[in-house]
Amino acid sequence: MKTQSARQKILFIINPGSGGHQPDIKEIISGYFKGSEHIAELYSIPKKCNIGKLKSTIEMAKADKVIAVGGDGTLKLVAECLLGTQTPIGIIPAGSANGMAKELGIPLAPQEALDNCVNGSVKGIHAVTVNNELCIHLADIGFNAYLVKKFEGLQHRGMWGYAKAAWQALWSHHKLAVEFKINDKTICCEAAMVVIANATMYGTGVKINPNGKLDDDVFELVLVKTYSVMEILKLKFTHMKLNPENIETFQATKLSIKTKHKAHFQVDGESMGKVNRVQASIIQKAINVIVPASSE
């Protein structure tokens, strides 16, 4: 890891539409840097975000580091702009799940997160390209992706609303007939969902991929063989462990997945519609992220 330099120019990419966004986040950032030797520049992402324009904005700023203020989707967007560069990416968690911030041990409180952006260490991590989409956290096909899509349209987004959706889904969602090629082997099986895991855990803290590492040479494919309402609620709302008897994990640098019927697909918490083919491969040393200086 590399420590930060003294005087810094820091560009904050703010997503006003993030799930847990504080309305005064701009004031918090501006107040933090008032009287500071560091230079803070703020840019709000428009509703219709053009990635080309965002990339141009980042390049023109010539900042020492770029901070994603939002959830995993905002981080993904910034990472796409800085993929393969040396520019460090920081996180001010302001989304509904903030899975990657939790993965990296970044504080959820804005002031502490800002301290980390200024004083943290820089760590290089890999990412995964999944059907030409950059995945820095988790992607999956099957049951969880179905719930991600269904949850988007829920009027009541609490536990009971989600439990109701999960219960309804149990009666309308079927297991996937899956064929995947990994490490020159072809495996056929049935599964409730298939996870392409760059990270170890979902935003709730439940670990779907406990042995995963963000800076090793592989990512993981996790088969969740069966499901119940309780297992689904664990994924969304608790830190409880999933039943290990229902899970099988494989390591890969690239893989292909084929399903008999099209199934729901999501990347970093965003629904990508239905697919019956998935191609994934690792991107080594994809991005540099700012993590707490005590992290290893």
* Neighbour count for residue 74 (Cβ, 10 Å): 26
**C-alpha pair distances (Å), 241 with each of 102, 205, 207:** 17, 9, 7
* Neighbour count for residue 89 (Cβ, 10 Å): 23
Tens-binned pLDDT, residue by residue, of the chain (296 aa): 544 557 899 999 999 876 545 568 999 999 999 999 999 999 999 988 889 999 999 999 999 999 999 989 899 999 999 999 999 999 999 887 788 999 999 999 999 999 999 999 999 999 999 999 999 999 999 888 887 787 666 555 555 666 666 666 666 667 899 999 988 899 999 998 899 999 998 877 778 898 899 999 999 999 988 876 666 666 666 666 777 778 899 999 999 999 999 999 999 988 899 999 999 999 999 999 999 987 55
pTM score, whole prediction: 0.87
Q: What is the DSSP letter of 258?
A: E
pLDDT at 272: 94
Mark 117-134 as b/e (b = at least 16 C-beta within 10 Å). bbebbbbbbbbbbbbebb
Q: To 10 degrees, the CA torsion angle through 108, 110, 111, 114?
A: 90
**C-alpha pair distances (Å), 100 with each of 62, 90, 147, 192:** 25, 11, 20, 24
